[in-house]
Amino acid sequence: MSLLDKEAVKRAKKALKDFDESLTVIVLEDTARTAKEAASSLKCEVGAIVKSLLFRTEDYFVLSLVAGDKRCSLNKLKKITNKKNISMASPEEVKNQTGYTIGGVSPVGHLKLVKILIDSSLERFKDLYAAAGHPNCVFKIGFKNLQKITNGEVKELTE
């Protein structure tokens, strides 16, 4: 079975195609489980890799899209969301909320509606690469289109 036939990849691909027919899923020979691995496979800067990080507050989840060369700041997330208790979601929560497993969490095609925040530092790249439902699957997109397809709020999220 091709990776493109996996349910999670199909869901990401459908979200991409519904937004723009020209967006495609790229299957990588090597894993893109980490930003560094993805950048190496794609021969791009680590910062151009979009990390999709799910955080849990006391009453909802927030997906933070962060540049691969940056760290998401919990203090900034707390201020933005006006929540005192924010922590990384567990692997089970990630799977339940997004439908994806860690390493392949796409910014699109989630099972449940989730609030999305996009780190402003991603704007420095012409092309961004994000996971498409599997650690070996990614898609290329520009910053403005990432904002549009996710309906994400652009904020300063990194330390």
Q: What are the pLDDT tens digits along the chain (159 aa)?
A: 688 899 999 999 999 999 999 999 999 988 777 889 899 999 999 999 999 999 999 999 999 999 999 999 999 999 999 999 999 999 999 999 999 999 899 999 999 999 999 999 999 999 999 999 999 999 999 999 999 999 999 999 998
- The rounded distance, in Å, linking the Cα atoms of 78 and 80 is 6
Any idea what the Cα angle at residue 12 is, between residues 34 and 42, rounded to 5°?
Answer: 40
Pairing mode of beta strands 87-88, 153-155 = unpaired
pLDDT on residue 105: 96
pLDDT on residue 32: 76
The predicted model scores a pTM of: 0.95
Q: Which of 84, 86, 56, 63 is nearest to 155 (CA)?
A: 63
pLDDT on residue 111: 95
pLDDT on residue 2: 87
- What domains can you pick out in the chain, each with its CATH number? 3-155 (3.90.960.10)
